[in-house]
Amino acid sequence: MDACLFCKIISGEIPSHKVYEDEKVFAFLDINPVNKGHVLVVPKNHSTDLVECSDEDLCSCMSAAKKIGSKQLEALGAKGFNTLINTRPASGQIIYHTHIHVIPRFEGDGFKHWHGKSYSNDEERVILEKLRF
């Protein structure tokens, strides 16, 4: 993908601060981090998003994310970490190459997730039926 920002980073065409690399995965510091040490883990094979990503590439990325998160705990003194994948624009995806955010978390860092919503009446059962395999 000639126009893909992350493909250009993987190829070295655009500089990055590489944290980890193996035969399937490239990981680098996010240039606009939620917290310092926020890393993006990307498969070397281009895929637009999680739905398009091969299971093999996804497994390799998750394995790398686990290593990186563990390193964040140890080396940065993080108290936890989040792994986050945005899929498609409605979720906040803005770079169309599959990637996993590995975000180190610290007490009181201010990063908020989501607020809970309640199901109304029979809505939970209806949605469950739609999603069940």
Catalytic option among 38, 46, 97, 99: 99
* CA–CA separation, 70 and 77 (whole Å): 10
**Among this protein's residues, is 101 annotated catalytic?**
no
DSSP string, the chain: -TT-HHHHHHHTSS---EEEE-SSEEEEE-SS-SSTT-EEEEESS--SSTTTS-HHHHHHHHHHHHHHHHHHHHHH--SEEEEE---SGGGT--S-S--EEEEEE-TT------------TTHHHHHHHHH--
Catalytic residues: 99
